[in-house]
Structure 1
Amino acid sequence: MNHILLRRFVLASVFVALAVALLPGCKPAEAPQAPPPATVTVSRPVQRDVVRWDQYSGYLSSPKTVIVSARVSGLIEQAPFQEGAIVQAGELLFKIDPRPFQADLDNKKAAVAQARATAVKAKADFGRSVELIKAQVIAPSDFDTTKASYGEAAASLDAAEAALETSRLNLEWTEVRAPISGRVSRMNVTVGNLVNGGSGQPTTLTTIVSIDPLYCYINVPESAALLYQELALRDEKGNVARANIACSVQLENEKNFPHQGAIDFVDNQVDVNTGTQQIRCVINNPTTILTPGLFALMRIPASGRYHALLIPDAAVNADQDERYLLIVGADNVVRQRPVKLGALFGNLRSITDGLKSGEKVIVNGMQFAQSGAKVIPHEVPVPTQSLDAMERDTATAPIAQAIPDMRTAAQSDSRSSSKVHQ
C-alpha cells in the first residue's frame, strides 16, 4: 500500500512540474516596442542679396621691364643704389669715369670755336665780294671762290657743333640713371670693372621692373569669355576692356581679395589647344607687396546683386546625378526634395529651384532620417559668418557696371562658379 501511495505521489509531482513549466507558454507574446523618432537638426534657408563671383588662378607681371645697359665704354666709378630697392626715374645707378669724355668735350668746344671764327671770316669775305662783283672790280671766278669758302666754313661749323653735341651726350651717359620707377635688381657689374657701350654688345648693368600698377594674367574658359563679352555689349562698351569690369586679387597667404583693379585687356584670339582666352587685370600696388612672377587668385563679378535662398552646402545630398534635400514638414515627417543648385558663397549654397523660404531643411543627423519617417526637429539658425565676411569684403570693392539684371543673374546662377579654374 505504501508503495502504491509513493508511486501516486511521484506521478502527481511530475504532473505539477509539467503544468508549471507549460504555464508561461500559454501567455500571449508581447509586441516589440517601436524605436522613438530620431532627433535631427534643421534650419530655414537664409534670404540674402548676393553677388556671384568667378575665380581663376593666374600670375602677376610687370607692365614695364627695362634692361639697363652701358651706353659708353669706361670704368665704373660708383654704383650708389641698393640692390632690390625701389628707385625713381632719373635716380643715379652707375657712374662711369667721366674724365676722358670731359677732355673730348673740351676738345670739341675748341674745334667749334675755331670753326666759328673761320666761318665769320669767310662770311665777311663773301659779303665784300658781293659788293665788288656788283662794281665789276673782281672777276667772277674770285667771287665764286669766296662764295665756296663761305659755304665750306659754314658746313665745317655745323660738323663741329654736331661733334660737340655727341661729346656732350657721351659725357651725360657716363651717369647711368633709372629710365623708369620700379624695383631694381642686383648689380651685374660692380665698381672697378670696365664696361662696353655703343652699338656693339653693350654691357648689361642691371634690370628694373615697374611695380605699381601690376598686371595679373589669367586664362578663362571660352564660355566665361563669352559671358564677359555679353556683359560689355549690354552696357554698350563694345568690348570687355572698355567695360571696366572690376576684379580683385589675393596672394597665397592672403584672404578676402584685398587688391582691387579692373580688366583692361582681352587677347584677340582663343587658344584652340586649351579652349581658353587670356584676360589681363591691372592692379594697383601702392604698398609694393605684390611682386611680378607671383601666382595669384583673381576674382571677377559674374552677376549683379540678386536675391537668393542659401543653405549650408553640407545639407545637399546626391543620388547619382540628382541633388536633393531632406525637408521636414509640419507633421515632422521627412520628405526628399529634388533641387537645383546655384553658386557657392563661403560654405552656403544657393538653391535656384525646389526650395521655398520658411521650409525646414535637415542640416545635421541626415543619416538617421529617412524619407517618410517621423523625426524630432531641433531648429538652429544657419551660420552666416562666411557669407558676412564675403559681403564685408565686397562692400567696398568696385562692382562691374556691365552686369546682368536680377532675373538673368538668377537664371545664370545655376552655372557652377564655385570652382577655381586652372
Structure 2
Amino acid sequence: MNPDDPTPGRSTAATEITAVAAGGSLVSHFRLPAILALLLALGVGGGVYLIDGATAAETGSTATPPPAPRVTVAPVEQRIVTDHRELLGRVDATETVEVRPRVSGYIDEVRLRAGELVNKGDVLFVIDPRQYRAQVNQATAGVERARVRLSIAAREARRSDALLKTRAISEEEADTRSTRFAEVRAELLSAEATLATAQLDLEHTEVRAPVGGRVNRAYVTAGNLVSGSPAGATLLTSIVSVGEVYVYADADEDTVLAFNRLRAAGRIATDKDGRVPVEMQLSDEENFPHRGVIESTDNRIDPATGSLVVRMAFPNTDGRLVPGLFARVRLPVSSPEPSLLVSERAIGTDQNQKFVFTVGADNTVAYRTVRIGPALDSQRVVRDGLKPGERVIVNGLHRVRPGMTVTPELASNDTATTPAATVALR
C-alpha cells in the first residue's frame, strides 16, 4: 500500500483504473490476460454447445422405431351350416283336462297333492257313495223282480201254446199271454239297464284321473257339495300331460314362403318319418338344446296377423318344459351347406358396407370389404370377400390401418369346432 494514497485499503483493480487514466501504461500487463481468459471461456462454452448439439442430432437420426402393435387374429373357418329362422312361441301341454265329477254329492276325501304326477286311473276325489250304493241295491232288486215275472210269463206262454192246440183257450187268450211274456222280458232288460246305470254312478263317486300327468291344486275341499250335472259340473282340478309338449309359434309370411319353396325342392332335411326337425331353447338356455319336430300347421295364414301358426312337438322326459313357458325355436330354411365364419368382433362398419382387417404372411394389414350373412352364436357367416384360413383381426382394430405391419397373436379357441352348425337369420 502506498503511504501517500489518501484512501487506505483501495483495491488493485482501482489502482489499475487509475493507472490507465494516467497514461495506459499497464494495459498490456493487466487487461490482456483478462481478455484472453474471457475468450477462452467463450470458446469452451461454444465447443460444449456444438458438441452437445452434434451428439443430439446424431442420436435423433439413429433412434429405434416403435415396435409393431400387437393384435389378436383368428383364422376364417369353413363349416357346414344350416340357415334357420327364429320363431317365438309358448310351451303347451299335448293334453289338458279339466277334472269334473259325473255325479253330485258331498266330497268325502281329497287324495291329490298339488303339483304331483298322477297316472291315468288314480283316485283324486271321493264323493259320499252311500246314496249311490242304495240305488244299486234298489236296481238289483228290480232286476230280480223282473226275472221272477219273466219266469211266470214264460210258463204261461208255454201252457197257452199247449191249450191252444186242444182248443181249450181261444187264440185271443193265447196272444195275450204271448204278449205278456214279451212285455215282461222287456221289463227285465230295462231293470238291468237301471242296475248298470246305478253301478256306474257308484263307480263315479271315485273321481279318477282321466289322463296321466301333473295335477293342479284341488279347487274344492272335503265336505263341499259338488254338482255332476252335464250343464254345470263343478271344476275339481286340472291335469296337464308331461311326457311330451307342444310349442306353438307364429311364422311370418316370408318364412312360410321360404320354407315351402325349399321343402318343395327337397332341400329341407327330414327324419325317417318325413318330419322336419326343429330346435328350441327356453329363456335361461343357450345353443338350443331341445330337439323336436314340426307336428302340424294351420291350414291358412291369419290375415289379421299375416302369420301361420306352427305346432312343434318336443319330448319332455325330465318334466322341465312347463306349459306356458316362453320358447325360442329355430326353423330350418336351407339345406346344410359349407360356409365361412368369422368372429363378430372382426367385422367393422364403414358407412353402408362391412369390412375386416386381414393379416398377410408378412404381417401386413389389408382392408377387405365383405358381404355377411346370418349369425351363429358369436360368429357371423361371410358370403363373399374372404377365403378359408385367412387371418382376420378380432381385437385391436382401432390400433391398425391398411399397410401397417403388426405383431399378430392367435386368439384362443373358446368353442370347439363342430362338423356342422346351425345359424339363425336375424
Residue identity matched to 1:327: T
Which residue does 1:123 correspond to in 2? 154
2:206 to 164, 175, 188: 175
**Structure 1 position 263, deviation (Å):** 1.0
1:290-309 CA distance string (max 9 Å, x none): 11111122233444443232
- The reply to whether residue 61 of structure 1 matches residue 68 of structure 2 is no
Which residue does 1:318 correspond to in 2? 349
Structure 1: gaps (5+ residues): 396-412
1:18-52 CA distance string (max 9 Å, x none): xx7xx98x99x989988665443333312333444
CA-atom RMSD in angstroms: 3.6
Mapped contact 1:93–1:177 kept (Cα < 8 A): yes
- The reply to whether residue 108 of structure 1 matches residue 139 of structure 2 is yes
SS of 1:43's partner is strand
1:370 to 401, 414, 426: 401
Mapped contact 2:70–2:409 kept (Cα < 8 A): no
Pairing 1:3-402 to 2, within 5 Å after superposition: 37-235=68-266, 243-371=274-402, 373-380=403-410, 382-386=411-415, 388=417, 391=418
Distance 1:367 1:62 in 2: 52
Mapped contact 2:363–2:408 kept (Cα < 8 A): no
**Structure 1 position 139, deviation (Å):** 1.5
Distance 1:131 1:191 in 2: 64
Mapped contact 2:376–2:424 kept (Cα < 8 A): no
**Structure 1 position 339, deviation (Å):** 0.9
Distance 1:221 1:31 in 2: 68
Residue identity matched to 1:376: V
**Structure 1 position 258, deviation (Å):** 3.0
Identity of aligned residues (%): 34
Which residue does 2:6 correspond to in 1? none
The normalised TM-score by structure 1 is 0.80
**Structure 1 position 248, deviation (Å):** 2.7
Mapped contact 1:39–1:375 kept (Cα < 8 A): no
Distance 2:363 2:289 in 1: 45
- The reply to whether residue 417 of structure 1 matches residue 424 of structure 2 is yes
Residue identity matched to 1:270: I
**Structure 1 position 226, deviation (Å):** 2.5
Residue identity matched to 2:424: S
Structure 2: gaps (5+ residues): 1-18
**Structure 1 position 145, deviation (Å):** 1.7
Distance 1:330 1:254 in 2: 41
Moved more, 256-265 or 88-97: 256-265
1:102-156 CA distance string (max 9 Å, x none): 1111111111111111112112212222232233331222122212212221221
Mapped contact 1:75–1:194 kept (Cα < 8 A): yes
Distance 1:288 1:272 in 2: 36
Mapped contact 2:83–2:425 kept (Cα < 8 A): no
1:357-379 CA distance string (max 9 Å, x none): 333322222112223x3222314
SS of 1:386's partner is coil
Residue identity matched to 1:46: E
Instruction: Report the CA distance shift for 1:70/1:39 in structure 2 as closer, same or farther (over 3 A).
Output: closer
SS of 1:269's partner is coil
Residue identity matched to 1:226: L
Instruction: Report the CA distance shift for 1:132/1:296 in structure 2 as closer, same or farther (over 3 A).
Output: same
1:231-287 CA distance string (max 9 Å, x none): 4334499x9997311123222233343332211111212233433222111111111
Mapped contact 1:46–1:310 kept (Cα < 8 A): yes
Instruction: Report the CA distance shift for 1:242/1:69 in structure 2 as closer, same or farther (over 3 A).
Output: same
The normalised TM-score by structure 2 is 0.79
Moved more, 140-149 or 253-262: 253-262
Mapped contact 2:280–2:290 kept (Cα < 8 A): yes
Mapped contact 2:89–2:328 kept (Cα < 8 A): yes
Distance 1:187 1:232 in 2: 47
Aligned residues: 389
**Structure 1 position 180, deviation (Å):** 0.3
**Structure 1 position 347, deviation (Å):** 1.5
Mapped contact 1:112–1:164 kept (Cα < 8 A): yes
SS of 1:218's partner is strand
Distance 1:108 1:311 in 2: 81
Distance 2:231 2:254 in 1: 50
Which residue does 1:399 correspond to in 2? none
Distance 2:325 2:226 in 1: 33
Mapped contact 1:102–1:171 kept (Cα < 8 A): yes
Which residue does 1:404 correspond to in 2? none
